[in-house]
Chains A and B, each alone.
Chain A
Amino acid sequence: MTKYIFKRLLQLIPLLIGITVISFFIMHLAPGDPTALYADPNVKPEELARIRANWGLDKPVAVQYFIWLKNAARLDFGTSYISGKPVTQEIFERLPATVLLMSLSFAIILLISIPVGVISAVKKGSLFDNVFTIVSFIFMSIPSFWLALVLMLVFSLRLQWFPPFGNIVLPCATMVITGLAGITRYQRASMLEVLRQEYIKVARAKGLPEWVVIYKHALRNALIPIVTLLGLTLPDLFGGAFIIETIFAWPGMGRLGVSAVFSRNYPVIMGISVFTAVLIVLGNLLADVGYAIVDPRIRYAKKE
């Protein structure tokens, strides 16, 4: 197991380097440079050149990349062009808000989607199953930013239950509603899969009551894939956070990322790309390892 985790961690290094190369070169494809955004027309060209040199923008892109990589290896992602604060510090200041929003949303999603998915599978084809299948599809079809606007209109502006900005309820509700469908359907499929297995037939054949078959034999096995879900949902949650945080002015990493994109704040964009990628990749790793821990079949297959 340790060897497997170690091997997987080693595999992360080329992956992360690839991610940084792509982000870095995409950003530097842009004509002109960020100094243009900050300088007013009266600034002398010599002054601009000085700023450019200060930010390292006067060197070839490849050289800039290696300088960046060398610093990044020591967790130094440079300083934000706008606030002048170190990028790492800026991200860590914003991180708790994002983690709070994402973990709360994910917890509520699990609380709703596991029972709904299981009941849908057990009562496949029933009214309950049909209604929730259609509801899931509707939820999947709603653009998160539009849902955010509608929730804001109804609950902040009309009913005035929550302030439109800086309150966690509405951004969380948006994330839950848009994220719910995928996991519910995943849980339903996983439960259906388990119910088809031989050992369920055996349990039924030896005369166990149906609820024991379902809740003791089937459910425990159907919950295994949930472990992988965190890994699978993480990119979606992050993706949602960028727009939802921006709309609700939630002071997290997503909002920082969007404003950095609009102001071409290279160091912050790079920092956030790397940071989210690391979290996503670690989430995947955690999911695989967790899967191997809870499911002995996988563990033995890996040993060979």
Chain B
Amino acid sequence: MLKKNKLALFGLIILVLFCVLAALAPVIAPYDPGEIMESEIQGPSLKHLFGTDDLGRDVLSRVIYGGRISLSVAAVAVLVALSIGIMIGAISGYYGGLIDEIIMRFTDIMLSFPTIFLILVIQSVLTPNIYNVMIVIGATSWMGIARLVRGEFLTLKEREFVEAARAIGCSNLRIIFRHILPNSMAPIIVAATLGMAGAILTESALSFLGLGVQPPTPSWGNMLMDSQTYLLDAPWMAIIPGLFIVLAVLSLYFVGEALREALNPKEW
């Protein structure tokens, strides 16, 4: 148990650190992320701790600003997924019957695509920009949450407190949002934390392929886009942003697991 707490604490510290870096990027970053400072690629030095990229921009500053973009894209994407997932899951679980059947078949369809291919197809059709990335990632990752919420609603709607709420004349909407939903928050919070980790990974893959956040705006994913070309000459271009992604995702997993244990959704 102590070990789990230590991991969660590690995760929490990293997450807080990344959030501070993102929020205070203009104060903390040594240079302007878009400024072309050197005429050629430079290795790590005192002036450029993480070296410069192929255009001579400071990698440290870009990775700090990139975190700002990557984390906010992931956070908004998770909010989108939560909104869709909770709405669909709640309707499906609460009303049941034919509506439930139709919605669950639709969920099955969405689950049968390899998500990344579906996102690639959508992104190639839309003009790739930061808002589309948020919406598309959210719109293709709500299925797990929907199933979870549906399950919660299926069991909770039979409980006495829902019966009581109905007896005193609460509307369906009120029962869904004020009575059942708050009682299913624990597993939803866990799913949202793990979903955020997934969203960071998806954003990075999309931006790496050039279908996500567009340059010159830096994101952890699109910083890796050109790194394959300079892999041998400038390995730091590939390694640094990747390490930030791994650290952020790992921290979210640690915190998510600790939350899962603390809130013990299985008991509900």
Contacts and interface: CB of A to CB of B under 8 A. Distances in A.
A239 B197 CA distance: 17
Interface stretch (B39-47, B170-178, B237-245): B237-245
Contact of B120 (A141, A235, A258): A258
A26 B115 CA distance: 14
B167 interface: no
Interface range on chain B: under 10, 10 to 19, 20 to 34, or 35 or more? 35 or more
Given A138-B250, A142-B246, A157-B231, A30 B125 contact: yes
Contacts of B209: 243, 246, 258
B95 interface: no
Interface stretch (B17-25, B73-81, B82-90, B105-113): B105-113
Given A235-B111, A281-B112, A247 B228 contact: yes
Q: Which of B116, B197, B239, B247 has the most CB of A within 10 A?
A: B116
Contact of B106 (A18, A142, A261): A18
Q: Is the interface of B mostly helix, strand, loop or mixed?
A: helix
A153 B116 CA distance: 25
Contact of A140 (B122, B227, B239, B253): B253
Contact of B105 (A14, A238, A242, A272): A14
A149 B227 contact: yes
B7 interface: yes
User: Which residue, B106, B115, B124, B232, has most C-beta atoms of chain A within 10 A?
Assistant: B124
Interface stretch (B30-38, B51-59, B61-69, B200-208): B200-208
A277 B112 contact: yes
Given A19-B113, A239-B117, A146 B253 contact: no
Interface in A19-35: 19, 22-23, 26-27, 29-30
B92 to A, nearest CB: 16
Nearest to B224: A146
A257 B227 contact: no
A130 B2 CA distance: 12
Contact of A27 (B117, B121, B204): B121
A183 interface: no
Interface string A181-218: 00000000000000000000000000000000000000
B53 to A, nearest CB: 15
B39 to A, nearest CB: 25
A276 interface: yes
Contacts of B265: none
Contact of A153 (B197, B205, B238): B238
Nearest to B116: A239
Nearest to A18: B109
B145 interface: no
A235 B245 CA distance: 23
A141 B224 CA distance: 16
A273 B239 contact: no
A257 B108 contact: no
B94 interface: no
Given A22-B109, A26-B121, A141-B249, A149 B231 contact: yes
B114 A235 contact: yes
A261 B112 contact: no
A281 B110 CA distance: 11
Contacts of B108: 15
Select the residue from B3, B117, B247, B257 with max chain A CB neighbours within 10 A.
B117
B144 to A, nearest CB: 12
B127 to A, nearest CB: 9
A202 B246 CA distance: 45
A280 B114 contact: yes
Given A258-B120, A280-B114, A149 B238 contact: yes
A142 B224 CA distance: 14
16 contacts: A18-B105, A29-B126, A141-B247, A141-B249, A142-B246, A145-B205, A146-B246, A149-B231, A150-B238, A152-B231, A239-B116, A242-B117, A242-B120, A272-B117, A273-B121, A277-B113
Closest 9 A/B residue pairs (Cβ): A141-B249, A141-B250, A146-B242, A18-B109, A238-B114, A30-B125, A239-B114, A239-B116, A157-B232
Interface of A: 14-15, 18-19, 22-23, 26-27, 29-30, 130, 134, 137-138, 140-146, 149-150, 152-153, 157-158, 235-236, 238-239, 242-243, 246-247, 257-258, 261-262, 264, 269, 272-273, 276-277, 280-281
